[in-house]
Chains A and B, each alone.
Chain A
């Protein structure tokens, strides 16, 4: 006798659970794709003379990363872990170049001790952090770091700003950029999951993401 005749497969279970909640209104991935901020932020970084773009990819940064990769004035450095980017950009500044570190909030946890370098030496450091474990999160494993990201950065003395609407991102990047490079400090701009769209696992179970 099978006590649970309708028990779905593991993949089916993911589908079932994702399906059990309605989509969050106004945060569809499609809307994110139409948002203008990645192009505007790329133009802003270019205008500010950003040359080294250190990345551990996140879906929320995908378009900005593509724009930087196409830009011959920028060098994209793919990292194995985010703390490498903190060290890289200290070196960039020593050598007379500006950079930016693009990462997901989970990567902030990987940076903690290395952030003592820009803090102790007053290196400018611009970090654009796309949030997980934030608005509308599906994955429980993302919650602890996402929830702690701002507190952990601030405990170290990193200046933290947040953008929670797509229309605010460009202006907030502009402000963070100035704070970092005019006042010689590490600055993190957290780009909220509300801007990026809560990951829609329903769609992911229906098709292979491109």
Chain B
């Protein structure tokens, strides 16, 4: 039996040599994971807005068609905003890649099981919605392939990465929303963006 993927190893690999990738992280563990991999201005970690990560990614992707946008989020967060799969599939953004780190748990609230622990197939739902590329990942080789697909991406992608339900030390990004917003905009759009 193969060992389950460790979420922080997955995120570190996906974000290594990330270039100018724009990264949105859903609240909770994915926000801590991207911060663990290295907090930076082009990260937008969420502290709330559960169910909104993928749609925030769509807004960025439509505004910045020449940049690649990676949304890293959890299974609970994605389950709360499933309608976004339909909305994004209709828009067909070529530069939006959604990766769900699926530990089958609500990690921040006591590791209660989510629907994916009971067979709900998020990648299948994304495929049925019309995503051009959908995949399930549960091996290191699969993570490398996913990384290549993101970096060479030409159409919207949805990946469900099965990860271990570990309890990990929190690695917190800044909490102040205006700071997170303004540093992202300044890094992406130039220092004058905060005066617009």
Contacts and interface: CB of A to CB of B under 8 A. Distances in A.
Interface string A63-93: 0000000000001011111011111111111
Nearest to A122: B178
Interface in B19-72: 22, 24, 44, 46-53, 55-64
A117 B52 CA distance: 9
A69 to B, nearest CB: 13
Contacts of B57: 91
Given A78-B87, A80-B86, A87-B56, A92 B51 contact: no
A96 B185 contact: yes
A83 B61 CA distance: 18
B184 interface: yes
Contacts of B185: 93-94, 96
A88 B56 contact: yes
Nearest to A119: B177
B41 to A, nearest CB: 11
A209 B124 CA distance: 37
A28 B147 CA distance: 58
A61 to B, nearest CB: 18
A1 B184 CA distance: 76
B11 interface: no
Interface of B: 22, 24, 44, 46-53, 55-64, 81, 83-84, 86-87, 90-91, 177-178, 180-181, 184-185, 188-189, 193
